[in-house]
Structure 1
Amino acid sequence: MTVIRSTKDVNALTLTFVAEFAAPVDRVWQVWADPRKLERWWGPPTWPATFERYDFKPGGAVRYHMTGPDGTKARGWWVITDIDEPNRLEFDDGFADAEGEPVDPEDLTHAVVTLEAAGPGTRMTTVSTFRSAEQLERMAEMGMEEGMRQAMGQIDAILAG
């Protein structure tokens, strides 16, 4: 399995995923940098993503939606806060309204993705930091941990293609 560990730490307000891939760092970087590749895994298999705006640079805005099996659209936004290609990506992430704009700009998580060589492959560590224990628990109740495990489980097929 791609995800080798996930850890919810209520004291640190974090949810961490560690995944390993049989591909070099620069190839794994592309599953973040290329929105068409990102669409193939961001979201669990039954909730595929569509990225409508993808300004991949510090300060850049990202707008996307995931479409559920019944056609329901769950919208989200990112603001990219830092990029150190091909090793680190940071962004703020939150829920969006029907126009793709933040529902509540203060109700966000901050994600830090790091990629490092691990033998012949890559270890990807993704840490989401929440603003409160209540926000972390709300996202956990919504299935974020299992959803991210399923989503990241799709990356191997992208890297193999």
Structure 2
Amino acid sequence: MNNNLLFDFSVDKENKAIHIKREFDASLGMVWQAWTTAELLDQWCAPNPYRTETKTMDFHEGGFWHYAIVSPEGGKHWSRYDYKKIEPQKSIIELRAFSDENGSVSPDFACTECTLIFSEADGKTLVTITEKYRSPEMFGKMATDSHKKGFSSHLRNLDKFLLTLKNK
């Protein structure tokens, strides 16, 4: 596994935004598939030692991903990502929110708008993520080293998962 891949996590307090850039040693098609397929997301998209469990995924504009982050003890923390715009193998704009088990979005937290941009150069894929927080409280909770470490952990899981896909 290549440990020299770009990972940049910056906080923009003025605009309540977090910018993340992460490079993967895999083709754009492979990274896109891992990022947009429920069965594949469930294999990498959670910080260790948690795991992801998809309940519903309808990956198209107007669709959504409803899933739980599952703790080692079995506790579930539900979220829902509503897909607003998708340009295949280029970008995704989604609204992220906490939800309940049925997919109802929690009124206690404003949705976060997230834009993901995918690009490829020299056989590596760069994913650029911008998280724009509508809630100052949620931004304060996420603009932390803890969020950076958790995000970094689940992206390292993607590195490992991509390596297994490449070796098949």
- 1:142 and 1:98 mapped to 2: Cα distance? 28
Task: Name the residue aligned to 2:155.
Answer: 152
Instruction: Answer yes or no: is 1:54 the counterpart of 2:57.
Output: yes
Residue 3 of structure 1 contacts residue 149 of structure 1 at CA under 8 Å; is this kept in 2? no
Instruction: Answer yes or no: is 1:104 the counterpart of 2:107.
Output: yes
Residue 64 of structure 2 contacts residue 81 of structure 2 at CA under 8 Å; is this kept in 1? yes
- 2:119 and 2:24 mapped to 1: Cα distance? 11
Name the TM-score, length of structure 2 as normaliser.
Answer: 0.88
- 2:136 and 2:106 mapped to 1: Cα distance? 20
Task: Name the residue aligned to 2:83.
Answer: 80
Percentage identity across aligned positions?
Answer: 22
Residue 75 of structure 1 contacts residue 98 of structure 1 at CA under 8 Å; is this kept in 2? yes
Name the TM-score, length of structure 1 as normaliser.
Answer: 0.91
Aligned residues: 161
Task: Name the residue aligned to 2:31.
Answer: 28
Task: Name the residue aligned to 2:124.
Answer: 121
Residue 21 of structure 2 contacts residue 129 of structure 2 at CA under 8 Å; is this kept in 1? yes
SS state at 2:32 partner: helix
Aligned mate of 1:138, from 127, 138, 141:
141
Instruction: Answer yes or no: is 1:69 the counterpart of 2:45.
Output: no
How far residue 3 of structure 1 moved from its aligned partner, in angstroms, is 5.3
Report the AA paired with residue 104 of structure 2.
E
Provide, for residues 21-64 of structure 1, a one-character-per-residue CA deviation record: whole Å limited to 9, x for no partner: 11111111011121111112221021111111000000102210
How far residue 142 of structure 1 moved from its aligned partner, in angstroms, is 9.6
Provide, for residues 67-102 of structure 1, a one-character-per-residue CA deviation record: whole Å limited to 9, x for no partner: 112221111011101110111111100111232321
SS state at 2:73 partner: coil
Report the AA paired with residue 70 of structure 2.
T
Structure 1 moving runs of 4+ over 6 Å: none
- 1:60 and 1:134 mapped to 2: Cα distance? 27
Report the AA paired with residue 22 of structure 1.
D
Distance 1:87 1:142, change over 3 A: same
How far residue 133 of structure 1 moved from its aligned partner, in angstroms, is 2.9
RMSD: 1.8
